A and B are shown apart, each in its own frame.
Chain A
Amino acid sequence: MTYFNNFEVQVQEIEYYLEIEKFTQAKKAIEKLLPETPDNGLLLYYYAFCLYCLEENEVAEEALFESIRLGFRNVDSTYLLGRIRLQCNNFQSAEEAFLEALEMDPQSVPVMSSYALLMFRTGHQKKALNILDQALRLDPSNEVALSVRFIYLLAYGSKNIQLEMLADTLQGAGTETRKLLNIGLYELHHNKLKDAKEAFRQAYLQDPTNTDLLEALDELQMRTSLLFLPNNIIQKLGGPAFFWICTAFIALIGKLFLPDMIAGVLLLILVCLMLATWVSPVIYLAIKRKQARRKRTMLKQLHPRGGRK
């Protein structure tokens, strides 16, 4: 330990923060160190990685270009470039970056998996599946490959296969947060809102700074409340399509066999239920906007700049 100088100690600290995914701390540490060594390609790569994880994609791309310019051109940097471009929806340039990374290392499973994800995003499903199969053959327990395959099977697989895949992702490498997110996604896909909410809640507890997760959790909280009771009833009955079929069937039966008044009342109830499902999201949005406006007004009263950064 005494054989490292101060720079190496600080780089160790940065690498440790990256390992435990504390990107804000890592970014701060890098920003302290960069002025001393602005030509360090590795540091700039780490900086770009932090910025990408913190969703500051434009600056991340700039830092990464600088890192590559300084000679840090390898699979990792090219792969990161692909991921940044994918996040920014620059699909063609993302593909260029992934293909370049695969030229350098044709057996890189994370790159293959991300390329497969890109192909899914752009509608080249067959190609995506072929690439994914190849990736999983090379490393069946790779977290990225399993996640991408899980996403595909969630959309196209049967319930049994989805469960098997979920079990694989839970047993594979990966953090608790990601595993909980997968569980939540699975439950959400099958309209089990309460179970999804619990999974997302536990995932959120692992990382309360994740605002996307918080938004999803708040929405689930709302969707499991009384305001969305009609929506939940219809989902439980089989979904809007099935509900409409039932309504049509009941309307016909009512017209043929029941007195007009009763048929009319039944139909009215069903139609009101359906209308309520259309109206409840609008009410929810209106409530949210009103709450946000009230908060901004109160903050403005407490502080002259209230609410504005």
Chain B
Amino acid sequence: MNKIDVLRRLLKIQPKSAETLYLLGLESKDQGLFVEASQAFSEALDFCDDSLRNQILEAMEELPTESPKECKDETQTILPFRLINGTKANISPEHQVRFEDVGGLEPVKDSISIKIIQPFLKPALFEKYKSKSGGGILMYGPPGCGKTYLARATAGECNATFVPVHISDVLNPYMGESAKSIRGIFEYARASRPSIIFIDEIDSIGFSRSKSSSEQVRSMVEQLLTEMEGIESNTDQVLVIGATNMPWDVDGALKRPGRFDRMFFIPPPDLDARTAIFKLKAQDKPVELCDFPLLAEMTEMYSGADIDFLFEAASEAVLVEILHTGIERLITQEDLESEIKRHLPSTVEWLRTIKNYVKYANQSGLYNDVSDYIRLHSEWI
């Protein structure tokens, strides 16, 4: 065990100890870990007194000024620009996805275009009518139906910075640190506006406070509410997209005007979308020419993930056959059809749950779109 490990253990006991952080910074600097040193010094500045502050600043000036490098160690999830934005988010480079890359779902895309994209692209027009561009939208639907992809496409259409956030980026066992992470994310997004923050599994980060007595949940939700309300800062041109499979678990206050005031139901892909997905999945696999429209017709209610799974299962079956017979062949239409016969769509269960939920909880009309969808596909659900 080296000095750095000892100091880290001390920090676990006393996370706000400026002296320990300073010593950790010095030790990291001596061992050439300049990124960690810089971070330790920055954190020490938060808790130190005046006398120690000067020492820390001196030590920071002695750090080399070369540009930060990405950590090669795979057990570390640190990226250098967390020093700036205060998050652990694995922030991706400018994405290339646009609506034309998303097959089908035309009604949803039109809706998002009118309510989200146009205000971003023509802020002056909407400013004239005193309409804010930004705010929050909540996408919900069965798992594997492209909520994340659609969010990326929305960001692409808006030419905005895409900031994906996952629960693991925010969680911290120390009191108040999770809320701090959320604040850091929003500060970064505001600094890089126009930007789109995409919070995957918003039902975990914004979990209903009435269902849990956890202080951590409470502090995260309250911070999220504060940030989205824009009380402390101007949130124009920052859009927050939340995605969830469980809209019933999202705190009620987050679904009120000013926060996630628009809810979009992302249904299982329609026929065009499924055809596009089949073509896309077949691209990088050894598949012979198939009748994708026919396969799409046979896979009503299948999600993108289900179709992906069909290809995986078909590949596995073909590989097993190859290993037995020794003869290589391509994946055929029959292989895919036989896998379709063996696997039910995974979206049906989710739709049954939401059908029962809507039966008892749709007095406000919040779930009218999913209600209509269920009515159209009642034979499945």
Q: Which residues of A contact B (CB under 8 A)?
A: 1-3, 5-7, 9-10, 12-13, 16-17, 19-22, 25, 173-177, 201, 204-209, 214, 217, 298-299, 302-306, 309
Contact = CB atoms under 8 A, between A and B. Distances in A.
Contacts of B210: 175-176, 206
29 contacts: A1-B88, A1-B181, A2-B36, A2-B39, A2-B88, A3-B8, A6-B74, A6-B77, A9-B77, A9-B88, A9-B171, A12-B172, A12-B173, A13-B168, A13-B171, A19-B214, A19-B217, A20-B207, A22-B249, A175-B212, A175-B213, A204-B356, A204-B357, A205-B357, A206-B208, A206-B211, A208-B357, A303-B345, A306-B344
Contacts of B36: 2
Given A5-B76, A9-B77, A176-B210, A205 B361 contact: yes
A305 B342 CA distance: 7
B168 A2 contact: no
A173 B171 CA distance: 24
Nearest to B74: A6
B324 to A, nearest CB: 25
Contact of A208 (B181, B248, B379): B248
Count class of interface residues, chain B = 35 or more
Contact of A204 (B168, B212, B342, B360): B360
Interface of B: 8, 11-12, 36, 39, 74-78, 82, 88, 167-168, 171-173, 177, 181, 201, 203-204, 207-208, 210-214, 216-217, 248-249, 300, 341-345, 353-354, 356-357, 360-361, 379-380
A201 B358 CA distance: 11
B204 A19 contact: no
A83 B204 CA distance: 27
Given A20-B217, A25-B204, A305-B343, A214 B212 contact: no
Contacts of B357: 204-205, 208
A177 B345 CA distance: 30
A6 B211 CA distance: 29
A20 B211 contact: yes
B9 to A, nearest CB: 9
For the complex of A and B, the 3 pairs showing the least CB-CB separation, nearest first, are A208-B357, A176-B210, A304-B341
A303 to B, nearest CB: 6
In this complex, the member of A3, A21, A174, A217 whose beta carbon has the largest number of chain B beta carbons within 10 angstroms is A3
B344 A303 contact: yes
B360 A201 contact: yes
Contact of B213 (A10, A17, A173, A309): A173
Contacts of A201: 360
Contacts, number: 99
A7 B177 CA distance: 19
Contacts of B341: 304-305
A2 B75 CA distance: 11
Contacts of B207: 20
A213 to B, nearest CB: 10
Contacts of B88: 1-2, 9
A211 to B, nearest CB: 9
Contacts of B300: 302
Given A20-B211, A175-B212, A5 B177 contact: no
A16 B356 contact: no
Nearest to B171: A12
B171 A16 contact: yes
Given A208-B248, A209-B353, A304-B341, 11 more contacts: A1-B181, A2-B82, A5-B76, A7-B75, A9-B77, A21-B211, A175-B211, A204-B360, A207-B211, A299-B380, A305-B344
